[in-house]
Amino acid sequence: MQLKVSILNPLIVLFTWTSLVTLASAEPSRVTCREVPDVATMTEKSESVFSGRLVRMHDPIPLGATVAPKDLVLDYAFEVSKIWKGSPADTIWVRAYRETKYNSHNLAVEQDYIVYGFLHEERLWTDPCTRTKMTRLGTEDLYWLGEASVDNLDGRTPSMTMDSLIEQLETGNTATRKQAFLTLVGIRGEEDLVISVLVDRFEKAATHEKIQIVDALALMEDRGAPALPWLLKATELPDSQLRNALAKAFGDIGIANKEIFGGLVSILSDPNRRARNSAATSFASLSKRKEDAAWETLRPALTASDDHQRLGGYETLRLSLLGLPQVETSLLGGLTDPQSEVRLAAARALAVRPSLKPETLATIKSAKDSEESKPAERRNENLIRELSRSLHTAEVGSPEQTKP
């Protein structure tokens, strides 16, 4: 299971097989980890799991003692809010190395934490390969930890259940609902239920909240795949900002198939440039996985009656399908489009393509000569520049491909 790592939470680091051995042998870890354990595994391996506020730090190393930097430690005192595992206590002390090879703990006094502690030499320790983190970043932990065996009712550690989150969606203000969306998509192992809750909310939400829901689903990445049929249906809604969010979400979820390509192509017809650009960028990212399916879906857009869709189609080809030879002929067709913006988009796409055929270069030169022969007031200097760039590139070598 992969866990997103937040730069705001320096205790969450990567988890390796080495750290599994570390946990089993109750030895504190100094190494980074490729993946942290899930909540159930970490709880089982921990001697104590609790939440609390860090109220004091103490350096246990005697003054004047010579200690290697890698062996420096600090003791941390937590004023306990809730305990899920371990003996009841008002204050719990936990020891940790000051630094690992790649990561320092940076626990801050007066901040609230969820702490997973294990025994080492009769003392409670935590290390970078546990799930110890700030409480505000621990929504997944709070959900799976459930009801605490000890609750001091100080209000610092919220209860996190599906019912409480749904209640926030129904009765909370805009900020509360947005936080609930983000909390829901961070719960791993409940994807179908989470998506069902979000889809239900989407149907009754205003446009700005619909966008928040789509943005939250995008954070699920491939875990959001079950939401794709519903997201595809949402592309039929006319709001450009919503369609912009949908285009980005398709790219972030990362599933490449004809249906997704079709949804992105439909957004290419949006009059809003930001929405079209987001669709083109996501299309380019996904097309690398299935170029033939992507091209088959995009090709009709290049000759569509909708000016925006044709423009979006050629803009997309500036970012993608650079290796398909059959695209070249379609791009040449774009140079004769009745809309100047579309002709320019086709020229820009040609300018970044490698190894243009001699007959293609001849057509480009002819189009450039034709444009240069027009009166100054009708001449498109941007088009001439892009056509010249294609010819120059053919002389000196392959162009640097445009990044999405």
Q: What is the DSSP letter of 69?
A: G
**Residue 226 phi, psi dihedral angles, 5° rounding:** -60, -15
**What's residue 355's pLDDT?**
82
Q: Which residues, other chains included, contact 328 with Cβ-Cβ below 8 Å and sequence gap of 6+? A: 350, 353, 356, 357, 360
Q: Is 378 helix (H, G, I), strand (E, B) or coil?
A: coil
**What's residue 59's pLDDT?**
92
DSSP 296-351: HHHGGGGG-S-HHHHHHHHHHHTTS-TT-TTHHHHHHHHTT-SSHHHHHHHHHHHH
Tokens of 338: 């009745």
**What's residue 293's pLDDT?**
93
User: In whole angstroms, what is the distance from residue 23 CA to residue 42 CA?
Assistant: 9
**What's residue 105's pLDDT?**
57
pLDDT tens, the chain, 404 aa long = 333 333 233 333 323 333 333 333 457 766 667 778 899 999 999 999 999 999 999 999 888 888 888 888 899 999 999 999 999 999 999 999 886 554 445 789 999 999 999 999 889 999 888 899 999 888 889 999 999 999 998 889 988 889 989 998 888 888 888 888 988 998 888 999 999 999 999 999 999 999 999 999 999 999 999 999 999 999 999 999 999 999 999 999 999 999 999 999 999 999 999 999 999 999 999 999 999 999 999 999 999 999 999 999 999 999 987 778 889 889 999 999 999 999 999 999 999 887 888 999 999 999 999 999 999 999 999 999 999 998 887 676 554 444 44
The secondary structure of 118-129, three-state, reads EEECCEEECCCC
Q: Is 279 helix (H, G, I), strand (E, B) or coil?
A: helix
Residue type, 373: S
User: In whole angstroms, what is the distance from residue 224 CA to residue 363 CA?
Assistant: 45
**What's residue 198's pLDDT?**
94
DSSP 215-245: HHHHTTGGGGGGGHHHHHHHTTS--HHHHHH
**What's residue 18's pLDDT?**
32
pTM, to two decimals: 0.75
User: In whole angstroms, what is the distance from residue 204 CA to residue 217 CA?
Assistant: 17
Q: Spelled out in words, what is the top-level CATH class assigned to the domain 17-151?
A: mainly beta
User: In whole angstroms, what is the distance from residue 232 CA to residue 213 CA?
Assistant: 14
Domain positions in the chain: 17-151, 279-404
Neighbours of 107 (CB within 10 A): 20
User: In whole angstroms, what is the distance from residue 303 CA to residue 330 CA?
Assistant: 9
